[in-house]
Structure 1
């Protein structure tokens, strides 16, 4: 088994290296988003264009922070599952077969 921490350190694991499936619903939505952003950027001028770009940038920052938070919470939850699996052997019932052989 490879050392996952070492593999991550050397860049052999890249959880962000993912893309959309060709023709998927999400890819279509991303295309709509990009087309409308380009349309609005071309049509708007002055303060309206500045406000829209500020809105789009702030929205991307909030989305990025939300994704980071979800990643951290999920990673910590997974670590808690692993810890509980290997460190805690308690259960509501006792194992009669195990007690017979001890």
Structure 2
């Protein structure tokens, strides 16, 4: 437990720096999206390309914000589950008697 706390303190735990596994479905989808973006950009004039770039940049910011918020919500849920597990209240059951 102490090692994890030290790693967290020193900034060694960085979950968002994971790489997409080669050959994975996600890798395939990312490549497909990039290919579609490149084909679409070839068909657009400069003003339209700027609009596309703005759209993509804005969507990345939305995705990043949502990922952060879902991470925080998931972490909080995990802590709540651990806290509940530490509760000695067994409801209507008792150890004796």
Scaled to the shorter chain, the TM-score interval is: 0.7 to 0.9
Residue aligned with 2:40, SS: helix
- Match in the other structure for 1:94: 93
Q: Runs in 1 of length 4+ with deviation above 6 angstroms?
A: none
CA RMSD of aligned residues (A): 1.9
Compute the TM-score of the two structures, normalised by the length of structure 2.
0.82
Taking the aligned partners of 1:45 and 1:5, their CA distance within structure 2 comes to: 52
What's the counterpart of residue 45 of structure 2?
45
Aligned length: 97
Structure 2: state its 5+ residue gaps: none
Question: Displacement of 1:7 after TM fit?
Answer: 0.8
Deviations 1:66-102 (Å, cap 9, x if unpaired)? 111100100110111111222x22122222xx326xx
**Gaps in structure 1 of 5+ consecutive residues:** none
